Structure 1
């Protein structure tokens, strides 16, 4: 069995996930992990698939034949995980550059962002534009957790940061 990270995007339509799942199943693949999103009329997916070597090319051809799908892939291997994993939720007033500031603070500490989901929302009581980021990080040095918290709060007085139980 080979492991592949596959990314897909297409105009969103009913039944698209079922078509993808059917193709993976029909070719003996195992759907290990994924993120599926609908953003501004576009369906985007990132999937980790495990597929028998002899079935990879036929699966790839089937996925590429789905109407309007653009696809990329990379062969992977099972990771050796020695990191400490932490999850956070951050809310701040929305402004340009926040993702850059957050990722810069995290990267400067040598910490890896493993997952990040961001969204724009309005505060219910005031209508103020808010930015929300939920993210997971992998720390090689668990002692960097406090440094990370301090660095994220340094982005601004409006930052609210919660450590989320994993």
Structure 2
């Protein structure tokens, strides 16, 4: 039987960390399924899903815990695959940076029982000025009984200082 594990990690960024993680997974007969990794501030952080035969799970977990010696803190969680009903949509938010943008958007999403599957954001100088521009891209899972139009209307209430774009996935 195969188990799915979700690994989260953070540590000092240095060459070879991903190669060493992939080697540990391979050595324990695991399969690298999906991942998101980034250099943030002076740290290397990520999340990774692997499948591993049940008889090799303990060995893989032990090998991953040894990454502490390399300055990488790895946390391992068991995962189960669940089929979700509803739709997947994309949401993009762009506007002049100010405190509270993420709070405003996520508050509306929560009130509509929308689950955020992915979120990435950046702050960068606006092309024609020195003001900082906040950008966020999200992948959302919306309940089957929520109309796309209702979500659009709720997000319009945030204000005119943000550009919000929704796109239904096919």
**TM-score class, shorter:** over 0.9
The separation in 2 between residues aligned to 1:5 and 1:138, in whole angstroms, is: 20
**In 2 relative to 1, CA 93–153 (structure 1 residues): closer, same or farther, beyond 3 Å?**
farther
SS in 2 for 1:65: helix
Separation in structure 2 between the aligned mates of residue 34 and residue 95 of structure 1, nearest angstrom: 30
Please state how far the C-alpha of 1:150 moved relative to its aligned partner: 2.2
Structure 2 residue corresponding to 1:81, chosen from 71, 80, 84: 84
1:14-42 deviation per Cα after TM superposition (whole angstroms, max 9, x unaligned): 11111101111111111111111110111
Residues 1:122 and 2:125 aligned together: yes
Matched, 1:99 2:110: no
Runs of 4+ in 1 over 4 A off after TM superposition: none
Are the equivalent residues in 1 in contact too, given 2:9–2:74 (CA < 8 A)?
yes
8 A contact 2:61–2:76 mirrored in 1: no
TM-score under structure 2 length normalisation: 0.91
The partner residue of 2:165 within 158, 162, 165 is: 162
Between the two proteins, the alignment pairs up a number of residues equal to 166
2:9 is matched with 8
Does 2:146 match 1:151? no
Unaligned 5+ segments in structure 1 are: none
Q: In the aligned structure 2, how far is the partner of 1:93 from the partner of 1:148?
A: 22
Distance 1:84 1:165, change over 3 A: closer
8 A Cα contact 1:8 1:69, kept in partner = yes
Q: Compare 16-25 and 59-68 and name the one that shifted more.
A: 59-68
TM-score of the two chains, using structure 1 as the length reference: 0.93
Query: Unaligned 5+ residue runs, structure 2?
Result: none
Rounded Cα–Cα distance in structure 1 between residues aligned with 2:145 and 2:139: 14
How far does residue 164 in structure 1 lie from its aligned partner after superposition? 4.1
Aligned to 2:29: 28
Aligned to 1:46: 47
Mapped to 1, the partners of 2:102 and 2:10 lie a distance apart of: 22
CA contact (8 A) 1:121 1:129 kept: yes
- Distance of 2:115 and 2:16 partners within structure 1: 35
Q: What SS is found at the alignment partner of 2:75?
A: strand
